[in-house]
Homo-oligomer: A and B are copies of this chain.
Amino acid sequence: MALEVPTAAPGAEDSTDTLLERITRQLPHLRRSEQRVAAIVLDNPVGAVHFTMAGLAEAAEVSEPTVMRFCASVGCEGFQDFKIQLAQTLALGLPVTHSSISAEDSAGDLSEKIFDHTISSLDRARRTLDADAVEAAITAVLGATDILFVGFGASGIIAQDAQQKFPLFGVPCQAPEDFHQQFIAATMSGPRSVTVAISNTGHTEQTLIVAEAAKKAGATVISLTGRTSPLSELADIALVARTFEDTDVYTPSTSRLAGLVVVDVLATGVALRRSPEHTAAIRRMKSELASMRQGVAVAAEPENLAEEPES
């Protein structure tokens, strides 16, 4: 194989991956001494940020040029670049693939780990989300007369949240929780209806049934999944937000979060492209909601009036 640049190995420069992922993936393809460097870095990534090249070389018991070659092998321009990329990876926090959750963790450790994992996961979703698909989804929604959001479990939460954003979407939105209701709504879709089907696995039987019903009724189906799957295949527009999988029982699901952000993107994109009058209406609603919330108007329970922004 190549002489000084075995880096040409599978996808070393793929910037959709974080540096630590790349190191881990490249590990077996590295030379022995470079593996020693990798081991030091992976063992204590946080400490490695403040290493100087000489320091890292000494710690790994190799020469400085070896460290250089290691940097090149994992897709960095040089040692400087390596340090910056490492720092950036670390800023997101380590996904639990690198630091797992244990029963001995203090509350502080725990929250740090879970936040880190969530942020890394969102970072991954950000890197892998297809902008063209988002564009297509926005366009589809702009032409819609009504939107149906469906999902079960955690994906149902995303559907509920999306439904709350109807002021931004500007057209009637529904997100029934009951499977039968979902099916009925899907069947009643027209050609200018949009159905957003949400399922992280993309395999959920019921969601597939509803999506198929909507499609048969002529609606445009947008899928929101965590990977390519039967649901994304079935959909007219497939939004895929990849996150880190749950590695053990205690790793909280991060796909919900990514899904929520994708819905945010969708809703914002749609609202931005609507008329200035629409913007004005949203602004008015937001300010009135703020004053209402503090009890200026307490005549009736107003929770159904406008639930969009947070309380």
Contacts and interface: CB of A to CB of B under 8 A. Distances in A.
Interface of A: 49-50, 83-85, 87-93, 101-103, 105-108, 110-112, 114-116, 118-119, 122-123, 125-126, 129, 131-132, 134-135, 138, 151-157, 160-161, 164, 177-180, 199-201, 203-207, 226, 246, 249-250, 252-253, 255-257, 260-262, 264-265, 267-269, 271-273, 279, 282-283, 286, 293-295, 298, 301, 303, 307-311
Contacts of A88: 87-88, 90-91
A161 B154 contact: yes
Report, nearest first, the 8 A-B pairs whose CB atoms are least far apart: A108-B131, A88-B91, A154-B310, A107-B135, A205-B295, A252-B264, A91-B91, A115-B126
A205 B298 contact: yes
B118 A122 contact: yes
A108 B183 CA distance: 33
B155 A101 contact: no
A218 B105 CA distance: 31
Q: Interface residues of A: mostly helix, strand, loop or mixed?
A: helix
A111 B84 contact: no
Residue of A89, A119, A201, A295 with most partner-chain B CB within 10 A: A119
Contacts of A253: 309-310
Given A206-B303, A257-B257, A269 B107 contact: yes
Residue of A156, A264, A310 with most partner-chain B CB within 10 A: A310
A204 B294 CA distance: 6
A3 B139 CA distance: 59
A130 to B, nearest CB: 9
Contact of A122 (B83, B115, B153, B298): B115
A119 to B, nearest CB: 5
A110 B293 contact: no
Nearest to A301: B179
